[in-house]
Amino acid sequence: MPEGHTIHALAQRLDAAFAGTSPRASSPQGRFTEEAALLDGQEYAGAEAFGKHLTIRFAGAPLVHVHLGLFGKLSVTQHRRKLPEGGLAGLEVPVTGQVRLRLLSETHVADLRGAATCELLTEQEWSDKATRIGADPLRRRSIPADTAHRILRSNRPVGALLMDQSLIAGVGNVYRAELLHRLRLDPHLPGRELTEGVVQRVWEELVRLMPYGVRTGRILVDDGDLRRAAALLREGRSGRIRPTYAVYRRHGRACPRCGETVLRATMAARNLYWCPGCQGGLPDLEDPAVARLLAGDVRELVAARPAGSVCPSEVARRAADEIGTPGWRDLMPLVREVSLSLAQEGAIELRRRGERLDPADIGAGPIRLAPV
């Protein structure tokens, strides 16, 4: 099934092809003939993606709602046909396969085949349907509070929650497998055992990774792949490189991070791939060893900047990688507590806006960590 980045890319391609036109609409297959007649010759008004759902609007007509499902395809191409004397009405472009809906302009043709859903809706009908679609990482940079709350209350495994389109829209099997591996999360971990910091990090990774899918047409998650694609895009090239995956469809092979054998099972009616060696539960942040690790990281980072200062978030991010938790924000209160203790011992200084703080009265607000 096409993941959300594909639908967003299709919306962009439709806009590029049909903006400013009044395309012919038809149903060569015959299953959408009456609906297509309502669209025929109407001014194109834009396409939008909402997770795996696509809407296409026309001035003076109901909107088209499309969900491709497992087998649907929507092609948008230049037909390179010379416009006949009769104009667009006389233009003929050969049809291949069972085309449910065709849009045809002087330069482009869009053919929809095999979609699970292709229907005309009023704005109110679409609005009612859209309320049942989850938050889309390609439309929102921050996770909605209600979405995070639902995840943190759930007994369902995080691997199933990521595939729930009424919760998070647009994420499919590849992103699920590779994202959870990147963050070292066991896909069987219940949502209620996650933390706010972990949920936030999951969302941030989706917001960071999925736009590459829109721009390149590839699901890219490997850091090396992302750097190569970014360089190609800066050169004005497509960035369509062959992706590298750690666990997706690599069952029975060694995990590139820890060497354990990648496993496959079924979750949320789809194949699930994960590594039992390095994808586990979350560490106990109340373990004294975590505080000792943080104290060591604070000392080391501060010592490395004799003429500068360190943001507590730098310590939290470094320690999160060391202890195997994606939720570095969960460490921030502990970093502040450890830093205060070190300042009281005289090992470091606490500063705010360049001014030294009294460890006995630091008040509220951000702090920096600096050498004595």
Lowest mean pLDDT among 12-21, 131-140, 282-291: 282-291
- Please give the pLDDT value at position 83: 85
Question: For the chain, what is the mean pLDDT?
Answer: 94
* 206 pLDDT more than 90: yes
- Please give the pLDDT value at position 87: 82
* 162 pLDDT more than 90: yes
Quote the number of domains for the chain: 3
Q: Which domain holds residue 204?
A: 145-274
- β 53-58/270-274 pair status: unpaired
Residue 99 φ/ψ, nearest 5 degrees: -95, 115
* 349 pLDDT more than 80: yes
Same domain for 119 and 39, yes or no, is: yes
Which run of H or E residues covers position 65? strand 63-67
Q: Cβ-count burial of 63 within 10 angstroms (0-12 exposed, 13-18 middle, 19+ buried)?
A: buried
pLDDT tens-place string over residues 44-56: 999 999 999 999 9
Domain's final residue, options 78, 96, 130: 130
- Please give the pLDDT value at position 356: 92
Sign of CA dihedral 91, 96, 100, 101: negative
* 154 pLDDT more than 90: yes
For helices 196-216 and 223-234, angle between their N-to-C axes, nearest 10 degrees: 40
Which run of H or E residues covers position 272? strand 270-274
**161 domain residue, yes or no:** yes
Ordered strands of the 349-352 beta sheet: 355-356, 349-352, 368-370
Same domain for 297 and 229, yes or no, is: no
Coil/strand/helix, residue 214: helix
Domain's final residue, options 219, 242, 274: 274
pLDDT tens-place string over residues 234-292: 999 988 999 999 999 999 999 999 999 999 999 988 999 999 999 988 888 889 999 99
**Type of residue found at 130:** A
Same domain for 161 and 267, yes or no, is: yes
Whose structure tokens read 């050498």? Answer: 371
**266 domain residue, yes or no:** yes
- Please give the pLDDT value at position 284: 86
Question: Would you state the structure tokens that stand for residue 4, as one six-digit string?
Answer: 């959300």
- Please give the pLDDT value at position 254: 98
Same domain for 84 and 156, yes or no, is: no
Instruction: List active site positions.
Output: 2-3, 52, 270
Which parts of the chain fold into alpha helices (H)?
4-18, 33-39, 123-130, 145-153, 158-161, 173-182, 196-216, 223-234, 288-303, 312-323, 332-345
Average pLDDT over residues 141-169: 96
Average pLDDT over residues 220-244: 94
Same domain for 8 and 120, yes or no, is: yes
pLDDT tens-place string over residues 88-102: 888 999 999 999 999
Q: Are 49 and 8 in contact (CB under 8 A)?
A: yes
Lowest mean pLDDT among 15-29, 39-53, 83-97, 181-195: 83-97
Domain's final residue, options 103, 130, 157: 130
Lowest mean pLDDT among 41-55, 123-137, 319-333: 319-333
Can you tell me the distance from the alpha carbon of 104 to that of 92, in angstroms, rounded to the nearest whole number? 9
Average pLDDT over residues 336-347: 94
- Please give the pLDDT value at position 327: 87
- Please give the pLDDT value at position 198: 94
Average pLDDT over residues 195-224: 95
Same domain for 151 and 106, yes or no, is: no
Find the CATH number of the domain harbouring 109. Answer: 3.20.190.10
- Please give the pLDDT value at position 74: 97
